[in-house]
Structure 1
């Protein structure tokens, strides 16, 4: 399905408990910039191939991994810091989700994000990023 309308935002639902809707995201590989990682993760999770970032935000969101995840996976880090970038997909862009990483996706208008994203602090950061983009 294409996005169809200008200024819609792509949200994905991860295969985790609690209906976790969020922006496409993932880890930064060694030697990779935040912008390059964002475009790679977008392609891996949704099949969308975009060649450039429209806006790189100064906003970040930090969170700790759940204790059961840390115990089960023994990661090097016990949390993650997200950086935010904005890229524009063409109106006829077609999403093909990787069902190992994403259960569902939805295109929403900015005012609809809070209907999906329930983590208050994450939502606040996303709203600040969108405000930055409006000023660009």
Structure 2
């Protein structure tokens, strides 16, 4: 299976005014894992356009509530566990290679609506960035640590001072 390619994707970290990050629980998983919005890049689509599309499809958040803060300087990737290769994505991919974007969110909680046309999340919440690696499925933990490292400086710059 190591000869399978990586699925091209966009990942999105949405930072609210309190310096917390949007995470959702997938509908298709019984795990208590939480993840940030992400999804495939369609043929002919650029990564930023895909990122904004995925945010809308997964969270209902309109683009006017998002301001781009940063883009990870390089693609990040992860491999599926052996037992999932061939079962996900019709067996076409061994994992994902992702372009990650960090957005500031100017909307309110009422602007989030995970009951979209094709819902992907059963629940959502705001989480501290440092908590993200512990919240994700184990095989994506290194990826989330790399996302946090890529956005370290802008996250510190936009962090809300602790009382």
Aligned residues: 134
Q: What is the Cα deviation at residue 35 of structure 1?
A: 1.1
Question: Stretches of 4+ moved more than 6 A in 1?
Answer: none
Q: How many angstroms apart in 2 are the aligned matches of 1:31 and 1:103? A: 30
> Closer, same or farther in 2 for the Cα pair 1:132/1:5, shift >3 Å?
closer
Aligned equivalent of 1:12: 24
Q: How does 1:53-92 map to 2 (within 5 A)?
A: 53-66=68-81, 67-68=83-84, 70-71=86-87, 73-92=89-108
Change (3 A) 1:40 1:103: same
The unaligned stretches of length 5 or more in structure 1 are none
SS in 1 for 2:149: helix
2:63 is matched with: 50
- Structure number with higher strand proportion: 2
Unaligned stretches of 5+ in structure 2? 1-14, 158-163
- Which residue of 99, 117, 125 maps to 2:136? 117
Indicate the residue corresponding to 1:129 in structure 2.
Answer: 150
TM-score, normalization: structure 1? 0.78
8 A contact 1:10–1:108 mirrored in 2 = yes
The 3 A distance-change label for structure 1 pair 28 and 72 is closer
